[in-house]
Amino acid sequence: MDLLITETGMEVDKNPEAGQQADEEQIFEEVSFDRCFYIYGGPEQLEELEALSSHYTFLSTEGDENGADSDKGKQVETVEGSGDEMKILRDASVSKDADMAAGFATSLAGIAVNEIIQRTAGRLKGIHSEGVHRLSEFCCSVVTQLFMLGISIISSANKAQNEETEQEDMKIEWPEDSFERAKLIRSKAQSMAGDVESVSNSFITGISDVVEAYQAAIKVATANVHDGLPKTSVQEKADAISDHLHADQATALDKIQEGLQFLAFVVISSSMPSA
């Protein structure tokens, strides 16, 4: 065997399962939540929210003896966006998964076992990639919404000095009581977290649908075949992808929680009276 390899220059995979596992690990590394979150600008959005939080916390603790310092934070850059955009993005993500899973059972009818396995593996890979991208994109949109809430709170707190700007930019009627503001933010955050779970769960459900179609097709295709087949490889791949999506969902919720912590400082600092 070694002589054959030397003469032909061909490398023989002595451990196919190990090679397959290495390929799967490489796929998970290439299509990771953190990588996609970075591509969609998530870290930058968190940094902007942190900077907003730090700036207004500093202003509230510094005091305002002559009014000049506090004016530094009055002119706030606004960001376009709304809850409707979040709903559209969520629905598009859920719909995309449904499209990827729909009709897959039909595509497996009447083909050979190896082709069934290859098509299923390819579809699972596609769902995983799309799921990670959609989840990270949605998470970035949530962080952007949190930043916009911070801008909105500050604009509301400064409405006496910037009445015209406030009239144009404000989308939310914020209560003056900081506790009530926090309750309103909590309600919005819970809704956003629920949307994140909906996006993640839709792709996990899609994986289950694909596996179910695979199992039905492979059962028919191997009805008269009794030799060894990799019956568990597809299921193991599906389980691994589902686990990764669950982990990515948890990571997305952690990012949102981080943003909420920054937003909490904005709520507190904007509610503090000037010294």
Q: How many domains does the chain have?
A: 1
| Residue 2 covered by a domain | no
- Residues 62, 69 contacting (CB under 8 angstroms): yes
In a domain, 254, yes or no: yes
The string of pLDDT tens digits covering residues 55-76 is 777 665 655 444 444 444 444 4
For residue 164, is it within any domain? no
Q: Residue 192 belongs to what domain range?
A: 80-159+169-275
What is the spatial distance between Cα 235 and Cα 207, in angstroms, rounded to a whole number?
10
What is the structure's pLDDT at 126? Answer: 93
Residue 271 within any structural domain of the chain: yes
Q: For residue range 224-261, what is the model confidence (pLDDT) as tens digits? A: 665 555 556 899 999 999 999 999 999 999 999 999 99
Residue 90 belongs to a domain: yes
pTM of the shown model: 0.76
Is residue 134 in a domain? Answer: yes
For the segment 128-179, what is each residue's pLDDT rounded down to a tens digit?
999 999 999 999 999 999 999 988 888 877 764 555 444 444 467 788 787 8
Is there a domain that residue 112 lies in?
A: yes
Q: What pLDDT sits at residue 253?
A: 96
Query: How far apart are the C-alpha atoms of 95 and 203, rounded to whole Å?
Result: 10
- Quick check: is 48 in a domain? no
